[in-house]
Amino acid sequence: MRLRPALAALGLLLAVVACAPVTSHHGFQAIETAPKDVKVGVDTKSTVLEKLGSPSTVSTFDVNTWFYVSQVTDRVSWHRPQVRSRDIVAIGFDNQSEQVATVNSYTLKDGKVIAFNGRETPTRGRELSILEQLLGNVGRGSLLPTEDVTPGSAPGR
């Protein structure tokens, strides 16, 4: 009789623990120096590399803009992960002197939802039906191997 309450308590404990969120940290993690410590007009590309390390990404259109991106997500059991925070620091450098020209910080609140377009671009050729796919190889070659293929034997012997 004492076993049932103990098993019920254990089951309740497992149910509560299973619903606890799992927190994940992704991207740039400031260890010694934060991106906000980068000074405009003082720091250069080399000093930024020393302080922060390699950027998360470099701008596609301007190699003098570096991005340091970090994100924290929570996941509860089988549900889709929820983004708790996202921080992006964009550091722009001067083309000539390679000194820091701008330091911009963006958070999750600055993001915008983009409408996804689910249309597909048609490809050339024709689509085969299931029956054509199944019967497409009938008559092409033989179904049986032409050589004696046994494990451990060299082909052609």
**How are beta strands 65-75 and 100-107 bridged, if at all?**
unpaired
For the stretch 77-136, pLDDT in tens is 788 889 999 999 999 999 999 999 999 999 989 988 888 888 888 777 777 788 887 787
pLDDT computed for residue 28 by the predictor:
84
Which pair of structure tokens corresponds to residue 46? 């080399």
The pTM of this model reads: 0.61
Percentages of the chain per state (helix, strand, coil), in multiples of 5: 25, 25, 50
Which pair of structure tokens corresponds to residue 90? 């964009």
Return the domain boundaries, the chain: 20-109
State the DSSP string of the chain: --HHHHHHHHHHHHHHHHTSPEEEEEE---SSS-GGGPPTTT-BHHHHHHHH-S-SEE-SS-TTEEEEEEEEEEE-TTSPPEEEEEEEEEEEE-TTT-BEEEEEEEEGGG----PPP------SS-PPPHHHHHHTTTTSS-SS-SS---TTPPTT-
Phi, psi at residue 70, to the nearest 5°? Answer: -135, 150
For the stretch 33-71, pLDDT in tens is 788 789 998 999 999 999 898 999 999 999 999 999 999
Sign of the Cα torsion 20, 23, 86, 80 reads negative
